[in-house]
Structure 1
Amino acid sequence: MCLGIPGQVVSIETNAAGVLMGKVSFGGIAREVCLAYVPDVQVGDYVIVHAGFALNRLDETEAAEVFDLLQQIEAAEARSDG
């Protein structure tokens, strides 16, 4: 099983090899991500990222739902840690 994490695209560029790359923000932490699988992505879009690759695009509502679920999981883990 793999877990894709949502993030917001903050910049897009094509690298020297011609691969579409971008910076994606995950709660304020930006990472370089390959955008080749989502060539129509634009700055401001949300994407699901796994292992450094954006796998698909989300709309803002879907991204908010995923963020909410991740916060619920984090809160449940904190409660179980006592």
Structure 2
Amino acid sequence: MCLAVPGKIVRIEGEYAIVDYGGLRKRASLMVLPDAKVGDIVMVHAGFAIAKVDEKEAERTSEALSMLKKALGNEQEV
């Protein structure tokens, strides 16, 4: 199963963005979204920012991932 996780770009370093996932910050490639900017909410899959989304879509996705985590018994990292 492939999942993309929403996060907010807080900094750009060359071809990479530092993305905040509710307090956890990780680097993501902007190869697919070279026009992304600080403040954008992006979907990240396998270390690549693959799409921009609005806050509503990001919230719906986060809720769905939380439900999936509960269904898996909170044992799996989602």
| TM-score bracket for this pair, using the shorter chain length | 0.7 to 0.9
In structure 2, the partner of 1:78 is 73
Give the superposition deviation at 1:59: 0.9
**Alignment gaps of 5+ in structure 1:** 15-19
Q: What are the superposed Cα offsets for residues 9-56 of structure 1, whole Å, 9 maximum, x if unpaired?
A: 110121xxxxx2110112211111111211221212111111111111
In structure 1, the partner of 2:5 is 5
Q: Percent identity?
A: 41
Aligned partner letter, 1:51: A
Where do 4+ consecutive residues of structure 1 move more than 3 Å?
A: none
Give the TM-score normalised by the residue count of structure 2. 0.81
Which protein shows a greater Rg? 1
SS of the equivalent of 2:72 reads: helix
Give the TM-score normalised by the residue count of structure 1. 0.77
Structure 2: distance between partners of 1:9 and 1:34: 11
Structure with bigger helix share is: 1
SS of the equivalent of 1:78 reads: coil
Aligned residues, how many? 74
